Structure formats: structure tokens, C-alpha cells
Chain A
Amino acid sequence: MNIANAIPEPMPAGPKGRKPVWLTVASIITFLFLYLPLVVVVLYSFSATKVNAWPIKGYTLDWYRELFQDEDIWDAVRFSTFIGIVAASIAVVLGTLTAYALDRYRFRGKPLIRFAIGMPIVLPGIVTGVALLAFFTGVLGLNLSRWTIIIGHATFCTVLIVNNVAARLSQLPRSLDEASADLGATPLTTFRRITFPLIRPAIVAGAILAFTLSFDEIVVTFFLTGREKTLPLLIWGRLRRGISPEINAAATVIILVSLVLVLASYWFTRKSETN
């Protein structure tokens, strides 16, 4: 259009140069919509009154004191941590094997396998939950326990590891494997000495996300839990009786822990990419 501009300017003249105000405003409102509820929870965890009313009448750390003395909460935290670690570990094994096979072999049915692995996270969680409940108790006649939860969680966490590891594997040149074989390493040694160290950060990043997902999960867990309660289940149970500032305190801690985990996972992903 602009004849004077025979040689197009690189970027600044492009659409990035123009910033419609409404777009920025809309984006800021969206951020508020995403974060305001979280901010509310954090703020009211310090509220001195038992009722979540506006404005906050005073501030206290009592709820945190109460929270940290709450044995049920601690039991639930320990239980959820155990579930998360075991489920993430199983998912790491299943997911790494799958990602490696998908990346290194040519075979038919790859989209089908990807779809099958992704199903538990694409289909509503309630489906996984009741299907496993019916399977364990109805078909196999087992009692629900921590192991039924772990199996459920590992099943929907696997896809996270597959995605993380497959992305990393696809960045690795195949010639690294070949160079290792060329220098006399058997396939197993090549995996141990070359491939695994290179995908390890991606595995760790995926494992942290899997743990986070497991730790926060409630929809599937509800159907698979035995007598012991995970942290989300405990909180949900108490919420039905009404909101207390102690729960706000617990929620604040959960938000913080998630934040740390997500940052850690992000850090490992970056590390894996810069290696």
C-alpha cells in the first residue's frame, strides 16, 4: 500500500506496534478475574473475624496457628504427599517408556496410543472415578484403599510425563544414540549414559507436575478413597459444614506449595532445554 516503503520495516511497523487500549484493559480485567478469588482466600486467611465479611475488621495469624496444630490436616497432608509421590513415580515409569517408544520407533497406531494415554485427562474425571470404583469394588471385589487412589492418579498423570519427555526426546538428535553405539555402547548403556541424563530434567519437570496434579485432585479421588482422606477431600468435607478462616489458611498454604512446585517444574524444563 505504502509505496514509499519499498523495503518493509522488520518488526516495529508490524501489528505489534499498535496496541489497542481496549485489548490491554480486557487483558488486565481477565488477570483480575483469574487472581481475585485467590487473593480473597489469602487475605481472609488473616482475617480476625470468623465471618468472611467486607471490610476485614482486623488481622491475625491465629488461623495458621490453629492450622499447624490440626492433626487431621497433617495426617491428610502426609497421606496426599504419599499418594502423590507413589503415583508420580509410577507415572514416570509408564510415561517415560511410552514417550521413548513413541519417539524412537516407527509403527502404526501411534495416534491411537497417544489418544488412549490422554483419555483419562480429556474425558471427565468422574468417568475415570466411577469406572475404577465399579471395577475395583464391583468386579474385583477389592476394598478401597490408598492403593486404589494411587492407581487412579497414576493413570491420569502418565500423560503429563509422556508429553514432557516426548517433547524433550524430539529435540535430541538421533545421532547421539548412534554415536554412542558407534563407540561401543550397547542400547542399554546408551540409554543409561546418554539418553537418560539428557531427558532427566524433562522427567523431573513432568514428575513435579504429576505430583501437583495428584496432590490437588478431588474428582477421581472421591470415588476411590477408603477410610483415609486426602487433603482436598478433608477440606471439601469441612467446607460442606461451612467456611472457616482456618480453611482459608490451609488453602493459602496449598496455593503457595503449588506455586513453588510449578516454578520448580518450569526451572527443570528450562534447564533441560538449555543443556
Chain B
Amino acid sequence: MAAIAAKDEQAAPSGRKGGPLPLLALPLGWMLVFYLIPLALLLVHAFWSVDYLTIDRTFTLENIKAVFTVAPYPAVLIRTLLMAAAVTLTDIAIAFPISWWLAKKVTSHRELLLMLVVFPLWSSYLVRAFAWKTILGTNGILNSFLQTTGITSEPISAFLYSKTGMYITFCHVWLPFMILPLYTILDRLPDTLLEASGDLGGNGWKTFLRVILPLSLPGLLAGSVSVFSLTMGDYITPSLIGGSPGTELIGGIVADQFGVANNWPLGAALILPILAIVIGLLLVANRFGALGRDER
């Protein structure tokens, strides 16, 4: 090694100043070709129209107009928004106590309990959604339970194929997406801060509203964006649990346009409001640091 000669000098690799581009070329190329370009092309579809089975590539705003004027699209859109909002708020309400409990109160088996919360996130979404179909069905467990115990005499059909059924199912399947970010941020809140607020005379509610809630906002927003976005785009739960007229959500309508109805431009136009709302939420969440700040 000591014998590094002058000739080596010329052969010195110039790669030291080379940036990360050689490494990033493949992943960024992949994301560009298989995500960003398809996404852009999809949006372009919204401004085309369908002529029998072929796509007419002349610019038109008809589809966009249809989304906001032609029945049932505006109603479905509003219903989806309300559903997503209701599910998000409910999950916040359910997630807060358990996240707080896990982060600040549990002293033993914390790791196990955490894993129990996280596991549903990785267990099949389809299985968890159809479990509710088993429970809520006309001849399902809930109804037969109510009848067997004599609480009701007739099966209640309102559970399945209803907005209520979808609402319960959505709240269940997306709950871990709310708990995880919320727990993470609460866990990082120093206990001393909460004690300080107590010492300054803040009672429980005041401490919660003035200290805990503002500080947990990033986690809350991160979870909310996930839950809202997942509800907005879903079509599996509606097909399993919803399904009666007046329960359609936008995801199902979009799926139909790309399936049986075969009207891609309209489907793409219907996706625009979903995208706009989710990206809007992302920008808001990002402002509050919900998406994590980069170190450099």
C-alpha cells in the first residue's frame, strides 16, 4: 500500500464527486414510468371522451361538468366526503384514548400491546372487511344473537347493505392507521411537559386542549389523511357491506367506469375530485409537519 505511485494519481476515481444519480436512476426511473407518467396520462383522460368502445382524444370539459351536474355523481361525491369525514372523526375519537394509554399509562407488556395494535394493519384488509359481513348480515351473527336473546323478533336488515354497516366497517379497518401515528407522537411528548401544565394549574381538559391536542396535531393529521384517503378511494367495502341503492361511494363508481361501464374518461374525471381533496389534505398536513421533516 505504501507504494502508491504517481501513476495511480491519474487513475484516481473521479466518482467521488459523482452524486447519487447512478443510484437513484433506477428507482426514480421506475417511479416515473410506472407511476407518475401513468398518473399524468390518467388525468389527461379526464379531458377526452368515449365514442362507443374507442377513446376520442379531442379536448372536452364534458366529463368534468358531468361530475358536478349529472346525477348521481354530485350526490355520491358528497356522500363519500361525509362518510370519509365521519369515519375520520370517529377513528380520532377511538384512537386517542388507546394511543394515550399505550404511550403514557401502560407500564408492562407495552411491546406486546403495541404489536397487537399494529398487527391488524398487516392482516388482510379483505378478511377484516368481510368479517363484518358475517357479523352484520340478515342471517348473520348480530341478528341471530339479537333474536336468540330475544331483544328483537325479526332480523334487522339495516345492518348490512347500509351506510351504517359501511361506516362501522370503515372505522374498524382503518383504525390502526390512526392509532399508529398518534401513538408515535404521544410517545414522544415528554411527561415533564404534562406535569408542568398540571403544576401551572391546568386541569385535565385544559391540559388536553391547550397542550396535548396542539402537540399531537402532526400525528393526528397524518392518521387523518390516511383514513380519509383510504375511505375516499375504497370500493371493496361498499361492494361487500353496502350495495343497496343510495349507498354507492365514489370509489365504486370509478371502478365501474374502468370495468363494466368502460368509460375511462368519465372514470378519470371522477378521480379528479378525490385526488384534489387528498392532495389538499396532504398539503395541510405537511404544513403542520405531519409527513415528517427531512433532516437536510
**In the complex, which of the residues B1, B20, B148 contacts A54, with contact meaning CB atoms closer than 8 Å?**
B148
Complex Cα distance, B134 from A100, in Å, reads: 46
The answer to whether A127 and B132 have CB atoms under 8 Å apart is no
Is the CB–CB distance between B101 and A236 below 8 Å?
no
Rounded to whole Å, the gap between the CB of A189 and the closest CB of chain B is: 13
Q: Knowing A34-B120, A34-B176 touch, does A126 contact B233 (C-beta < 8 A)?
A: yes
In the bound complex, do residue B254 and residue A126 qualify as a contact, i.e. CB atoms below 8 Å apart?
yes
Q: Which of B34, B41, B234 lies in contact with A126, CB distance below 8 A?
A: B234
Contacts of A222 in B (CB 8 A): 255
Set B137, B198, B199: member contacting A243, Cβ < 8 A: B137
In the assembled complex, B102 has its CB within 8 A of some CB on chain A: yes
Q: Which of B222-258 contact A (CB under 8 A)?
A: 225-226, 229-230, 232-236, 239-240, 251, 254-255, 258
Chain B 259-280 near chain A by CB (<8 Å), digits 1 or 0:
0000010011001001100110
* A contacts with B, residue count (CB < 8 A): 94
**Is B158 an interface position by the 8 A CB rule?**
no
For window 107-134 of A, CB contacts with B under 8 Å fall at 107, 110-111, 113-117, 119-120, 122-134
**Is there an interface contact between B123 and A255, defined as CB atoms closer than 8 Å?**
yes
A114–B139 CB distance below 8 A = no
Are the C-beta atoms of B191 and A125 separated by less than 8 Å? no
Q: Are A98 and B24 in contact (CB under 8 A)?
A: yes
**A30, B31: Cα distance in complex, Å:** 38
A194 interface residue per 8 A CB criterion: no
Known A-B contacts A23-B105, A124-B229, A130-B254; the reply to A219 vs B134 at CB < 8 A is: no
B38 touches A158 (CB 8 A): no
Q: Does B126 contact A (CB under 8 A)?
A: yes
Residues 37-91 of B at the A interface (beta carbon under 8 Å): 37-39, 41-42, 45, 55
Q: When the two chains form their complex, are residues A132 and B141 in contact, meaning their CB atoms are under 8 A apart?
A: no
Question: B128, A130: Cβ atoms under 8 Å?
Answer: no
Q: Which residues of A contact B215 (CB under 8 A)?
A: none
Interface contact A53-B144, CB-CB below 8 Å: yes
Tell me if B101 and A53 are in contact (CB < 8 A).
no
- Interface size counted on chain B using CB atoms at 8 A: 94
- Residue A198 CB within 8 A of the other chain: no
- B268 surroundings in chain A (CB, below 8 A): 130, 134
A111 touches B134 (CB 8 A): no
Residues of A within 8 A of B39 (CB): 127, 131
The docked-state distance in angstroms from the alpha carbon of A117 to that of B149 is 52
- Find chain B residues with CB under 8 A from A259 CB: 119, 123
Within 8 Å CB of B255, what residues of A? 126, 130, 222-223
Q: How far is the CA of A54 from the CA of B141 in the complex (A)?
A: 5
Task: Say yes or no: B42 contacts A130, CB within 8 Å.
Answer: yes
Interface string of A223-242 (1 = CB under 8 A from B): 10000000010011001100
Closest to B292 in A: A114
Chain A residues, Cβ within 8 Å of B119: 258-259, 262
In the docked arrangement, what's the CA distance between A134 and B124, Å? 26
Which of A36-44, A58-66, A69-77, A171-179 has 4 or more CB atoms under 8 Å from chain B? A36-44
A239:B133 contact, CB within 8 angstroms: yes
A55 beta carbon closer than 8 Å to chain B = yes
**B144 and A44 form a contact (CB under 8 A):** no
B30 to nearest A CB, angstroms?
A: 6
A262 to B39, CA, bound (A): 31
Asked if A261 lies at the interface with its beta carbon under 8 angstroms from chain B, I say yes
Q: Which residues of A contact B213 (CB under 8 A)?
A: none
Q: Pull 24 A–B residue pairs with CB atoms less than 8 Å apart, ordered by A.
A: A15-B194, A23-B100, A31-B116, A37-B135, A38-B123, A40-B131, A44-B141, A94-B30, A113-B24, A123-B279, A124-B229, A124-B233, A127-B271, A130-B42, A130-B271, A134-B268, A139-B38, A218-B125, A235-B127, A235-B130, A243-B130, A251-B130, A258-B124, A262-B115
Taking Cβ atoms with an 8 Å cutoff, the residues of A that contact B are 1, 11, 14-16, 19, 22-24, 26-27, 30-31, 33-35, 37-38, 40-41, 44, 51-55, 93-95, 97-98, 100-102, 104-107, 110-111, 113-117, 119-120, 122-135, 138-139, 151-152, 154-155, 158, 184, 187, 209, 212-213, 216, 218-219, 222-223, 232, 235-236, 239-240, 243, 247-248, 251, 254-255, 258-259, 261-262, 266
12 additional A-B pairs beyond A38-B131, A41-B131, A123-B279, beta carbons within 8 Å, are A1-B199, A23-B101, A27-B97, A30-B97, A33-B94, A101-B24, A124-B233, A129-B258, A130-B267, A155-B35, A219-B233, A251-B124
